[in-house]
Amino acid sequence: MTVLEQLKEDPATRHIPIYVVSGVDRSDTALYMGAFGYLVKPAEQQALQAMFDRLERKLAQKIKRVLVVEDDPLQRESIRLLIGGTQDVEIVDVALAEQALEALRQQPFDCMVMDLSLPDMPGHALLARMGEEPLRAFPPVIVYTGRNLGRDEEEILRRYSQSIIIKGRARPSGCWTR
């Protein structure tokens, strides 16, 4: 886990998909820390082959998938226009936290841009649920909010999020690129 942490904290290596193979099942922790996948030893030949196939598909992937979680349709469209101007970015946008969780269960995303004020669940609760649920992957998260954050709230969010952007102070354009 220390090696995984160092690789994911270094800007030069954090983009590399990492599969952890270990004798101890710490898959929840590894996936939360950014691992692409996890296998427990002894791993069977089929599981290892599936791991390599999944890594190969990821490395061959030309299109980046971004999940936008924003309940305001105008803000959602604004984010879509800012980051979706190229054909190598696929954007899935949802208005509710539950919709975001369902999307994350269905497919992996390269990044998630989210607002904290969602009608069905606060943003920090969504992040906590993402850490608890069997998702395809826990993507890097950009919190894009119009609220001023207190020091305690910002500290909690930083446990989950690579970046916190205050609306109107910075653009999300290109922020998911690692």
Tell me the per-residue pLDDT of 32-56, one tens digit each, with 9 for 90 and over. 777 888 899 998 999 899 888 888 8
DSSP structure string for 61-124 = --SEEEEEE-S-HHHHHHHHHHH--STTEEEEEESSHHHHHHHHHHS--SEEEE-SB-SSSBHH
What tens digit of pLDDT does each residue of 114-129 get? 998 899 998 888 988 8
What are the structural domains of the chain? Answer: 2-60 (3.40.50.2300), 64-166 (3.40.50.2300)
Q: 151-162: per-residue pLDDT in tens?
A: 888 777 777 765
